[in-house]
Amino acid sequence: MSTALLTVSDIRKSFGGITALDGLSFTVRQGEILGIVGPNGAGKSAMINAVSGIYPTDSGSITMAGRDLTRLPAHERSRAGVARTFQNIRLFGRMSVLENVLMARKEHVLNPLRSVFSGRRRQRVAEAMRQLEAMRLAAKADWPASSLAYGEARRLEIARALANGPTLLFLDEPAAGMNDQETALLIEDIRAARAGVDSIVIVEHDVALLRTLSDRMVALHYGREIAEGSPEEVLSHPEVVRAYLGTVDDAH
């Protein structure tokens, strides 16, 4: 049993009368790829937003490597090593592919003018190019981000998320909108990204992708965990099958 990198304990989040997270608890272990599965409305994206600091939680705790992140704002959690992508691609379309990665670096966020004129720019460019190389985008470093194909734009989001050398990477539905060929390439990209972080959490509807990549899976429904274990155990769990497909038992 490997050490827990992230521990989420009994977090709750409501929006008015709607409960998005209902006492959710789970762990992310050091060195693993954890797959998160669940039907629409299960709380998957709310969970990522809560862990990354976009949503403040109503109660519960979030710790990573022994550090309490619960009350930290999103930028502090990013500095602590939490990175994420989004369901909807968020790129700077008029900027080059390389500039998109450089913009994500914390030196630029803290002091954009200094980052442009600093003598260390060459080093930062080299580091950004390594991220693009890992995502097979180095040849298009000077292209406008808006010119990328859909799958390439997804890969650029991953490269940008890796720009600051995070400890933990959350991928929010990275295969959304991809065809089979693009998804197959994405699987290779995520495997390549694994070398640069301690752990990865993938929230995804593509069960085949999760089955291929996940060391372990957690299933959510109505903002709480309903199953945890190997991909085979989780995907065959009665509550998971019921949540996705519905059964006669749901009427009782």
pLDDT in tens, 30-79: 999 999 999 999 999 999 999 999 999 999 999 999 999 999 999 999 99
**DSSP strand pairing (216-221 vs 199-203):** unpaired
Q: Could you give the percent of the chain with pLDDT greater than 70?
A: 90
Residue 18: pLDDT above 70? Answer: yes
pLDDT in tens, 112-162: 445 444 556 788 899 899 999 999 999 999 999 999 999 999 999 999 999
Task: Please name the residue that has the structure tokens 């998320």.
Answer: 161
Structure tokens at 220: 């959510």
Compute the mean pLDDT over every residue in the chain, rounded to the nearest whole number: 89
Predicted local confidence at residue 118, as pLDDT: 52
Residue 199: pLDDT above 90? Answer: yes
Q: How confident is the model at residue 251 (pLDDT cuts 50, 70, 90)?
A: very low
Task: Please name the residue that has the structure tokens 């992230």.
Answer: 6
Predicted local confidence at residue 96, as pLDDT: 96
Question: Going from the N-terminus, what domains does the chain have, and what CATH number goes with each?
Answer: 4-89+165-251 (3.40.50.300)
Residue 216: closest CA among 24, 32, 51, 25: 32
- Rounded to 5 degrees, φ, ψ at 238 are -55, -40
pLDDT in tens, 79-109: 999 999 998 888 988 999 999 999 887 554 4
CB contact at 8 A, 157 and 89: yes
Could you give the angle at which helices 121-134 and 97-104 cross, rounded to 10 degrees? 110
